Amino acid sequence: MDAKVVFETERLVVRDWADADGDRVYDIYRRWEVSRWLGATPRAMTDRDAASRSIERWNLRNADPVHGVWAVEEKATGVVAGTVLLVPLPSGSEPGRGEVEVGWHFHPDAWGRGLATEAARGAIGHGFKAGLPEIYAVVRPDNQASLAVCRRLGMRPLGLTKRWYDAELASFVI
User: How many domains does the chain contain in total?
Assistant: 1
Bridge partners of 160, per DSSP, are 170
Report d(CA 134, CA 158) in Å as an integer: 13
pLDDT at 94 over 70: no
Average predicted confidence (pLDDT) for the chain = 93
Find the mean pLDDT for residues 103-132.
Answer: 97
CATH label of the domain that carries residue 54 = 3.40.630.30
State the pLDDT at residue 92: 57
Non-local CB neighbours of 129 within 8 Å, separated by 6+ positions: none
Percent of the chain's residues with pLDDT above 70 = 95
pTM tops 0.75? yes
State the pLDDT at residue 95: 47
Report d(CA 169, CA 2) in Å as an integer: 36
C-beta separation of 110 from 122 below 8 A: no
> Which band of pLDDT confidence, cut at 50, 70 and 90, is reported for residue 93?
very low
The secondary structure of residue 5, as a DSSP letter, is E
> Which band of pLDDT confidence, cut at 50, 70 and 90, is reported for residue 2?
low
Structural domain for 30, as ranges? 5-173
pLDDT digits 0-9 by tens, 19-75: 999 999 999 999 999 999 998 889 999 999 999 999 999 999 898 899 999 999 999
Find the mean pLDDT for residues 144-173.
Answer: 95
